[in-house]
Structure 1
């Protein structure tokens, strides 16, 4: 049985605790206790979250865990010498050391991210890079594995990090079973972007949102303005005007962004041939998709796939 030490700090965000559920349900899916979870803090006892709820914790003692995960606080502050000492001792005694969201600041302050590829919540990535220039910050990743150091973005990305650990420890079948029990659509790959085009296109009306949903489900179609307008139950002229007003871009540009996002996810998370992905996402052929990738990401599809695999494999 593997011991997981989960470190909380005062003012932690409740969403961080969702990662614990991954290990809990790994035990359920495995039919035995493959993980033991200890919630830790510097002083032990009740630790107050940013919302005001508290979690009961054990004080730092023996750092001999299989995995130690540090969750940060809503406010970024300098960690105490005791916290930093525990992080350093845990990194030496444990098989892997990890952080969720701003927990990366603890690892960085302890020097554990020096020369390492790492990520954190995109809102805090620039600050971490400025404070700790030796860190090889990749601010747009869901999670990153560099040797025995794992770092993740904020909030729900901690779930992806924990699922990645379960997959590394016990295989993809158990990780999929846990994801199903948590009612997750799939485990996001570490190389996946923290940003979503659907989130950026914040449609205010149901009609424009319906058109976006239709586009996402029918990327193989031509998705002309007339087709999208029909999905929104508007005339093409009314639709174009409303779409630009609500999303800040034209329907054609929005469709290209959706095609790119979906194609990038397929490149990162599947082994489908490029020709297949191009056809499924409406690019028609691999050359047209390659040009679109170069415009949007500055890299061809093959480079995106190699980068995602390197992140997930900790290369």
Structure 2
């Protein structure tokens, strides 16, 4: 069996979870398939680095002493804002030799700075996508997915999305059953599809400043099955429909209808993940009315039907042993 070298790039100011999340996934694969991955870390000069949370990490070796790995993993963090030019030069020269280039969160900015994402599809943390697109117009930035695969390049959104991407890579290398067993062992309830949106409706929208609009936002979240038309929501906020729609968009950054769509989809996903309820029951509970309406919403946003979503991403099989 081929042993795949995983090389993790370390630098001052990296986000520790961007590193440890994916590394735990690859290490979990080694419990299921001994020797599947050789995981090493490297900094520019081989010296310790300090993470954004204050942890000190000691790498295995210096980047200059590494051979081209199978998978090169570049984490994100505050250190990507003003990277060492030597790191960018190393990435520009050596990263193309890796069979697979992977970034977590703002690590994509380092790959882009090195010119490795020009003409390619990529994502990063949703808060950075606008700046990312402005700084690197040659990159096709996709702000919604939790990770994006484009040939030998794979980029992911913030923090925990790196775990989802690593699980997808393990599935690609070693099979679905092992990837799902690792997810179960790490208490990652669901291995999410890459095209799943990377933020919830509540995070995607701003919190309204005015109390009546905030109350409406909360009501929508708690009652996805209710009448959530503009007229009904406006009445709850004690505003005219026109005034409500205008104020809601100004204060939250999206229309009431789009917010409702996101909340209902999120509620339906949770029902499919957390319960054994039938598709029709989930559709009613989450305000879709009919299973077909829910199916269209899932296909439009997630690229899979509700039944396929549940089937593909439920954990299965025994947990991976720890020893």
* TM-score with structure 2 setting the length: 0.70
Q: Verify the 8 A CA contact 2:25 2:167 in the aligned structure 1.
A: yes
Distance 1:253 1:144 in 2: 23
- Match in the other structure for 1:120: 124
Distance 2:108 2:50 in 1: 20
- Match in the other structure for 2:51: 49
Aligned positions, number: 272
Q: Give how far 1:288 is off.
A: 4.8
Q: Which of 17, 21, 38 in structure 2 is aligned with 1:18?
A: 21
Q: Verify the 8 A CA contact 1:42 1:59 in the aligned structure 2.
A: yes
Q: Give how far 1:8 is off.
A: 1.6
Q: Which of 287, 299, 304 in structure 1 is aligned with 2:301?
A: 304
Q: Give how far 1:102 is off.
A: 1.1
Gaps of 5+ in 2: 229-235, 238-243, 245-250, 273-278, 309-323
1:193-232 to 2 correspondence within 5 Å? 193-199=197-203, 215=223, 222-223=225-226
Distance 1:266 1:305 in 2: 15
Q: Which of 97, 103, 112 in structure 1 is aligned with 2:107?
A: 103
Q: Deviations over 1:106-151 (max 9, x none)?
A: 1101111001010011122111211110000011221100000000
1:220-259 to 2 correspondence within 5 Å? 222-223=225-226, 257-259=262-264
Local SS of the residue matching 1:123: coil
Q: Which of 146, 158, 163 in structure 1 is aligned with 2:150?
A: 146
Distance 1:35 1:98 in 2: 15
Gaps of 5+ in 1: 226-239, 268-273, 294-300, 310-315
- Match in the other structure for 1:284: 289
Q: Which of 71, 84, 89 in structure 2 is aligned with 1:85?
A: 89
Q: Verify the 8 A CA contact 1:8 1:72 in the aligned structure 2.
A: no
RMSD: 4.1
Q: Which of 54, 59, 64 in structure 1 is aligned with 2:62?
A: 59
Q: Which of 160, 164, 170 in structure 2 is aligned with 1:166?
A: 170
Q: Verify the 8 A CA contact 2:14 2:52 in the aligned structure 1.
A: yes
Distance 2:288 2:145 in 1: 25
Q: Deviations over 1:272-292 (max 9, x none)?
A: xx989755744123675589x
Q: Which of 65, 73, 78 in structure 2 is aligned with 1:69?
A: 73
Taking a change above 3 Å as real, the CA distance of residues 24 and 212 of structure 1, as seen in their structure-2 partners, is farther
Q: Give how far 1:12 is off.
A: 1.0
Taking a change above 3 Å as real, the CA distance of residues 161 and 256 of structure 1, as seen in their structure-2 partners, is closer
- Match in the other structure for 2:312: none
Taking a change above 3 Å as real, the CA distance of residues 44 and 134 of structure 1, as seen in their structure-2 partners, is same
Q: Verify the 8 A CA contact 2:196 2:302 in the aligned structure 1.
A: no
Q: Deviations over 1:186-244 (max 9, x none)?
A: 11111111111255698x9xxx99988875xxx6xx4479xxxxxxxxxxxxxx68xx9
Taking a change above 3 Å as real, the CA distance of residues 283 and 20 of structure 1, as seen in their structure-2 partners, is same
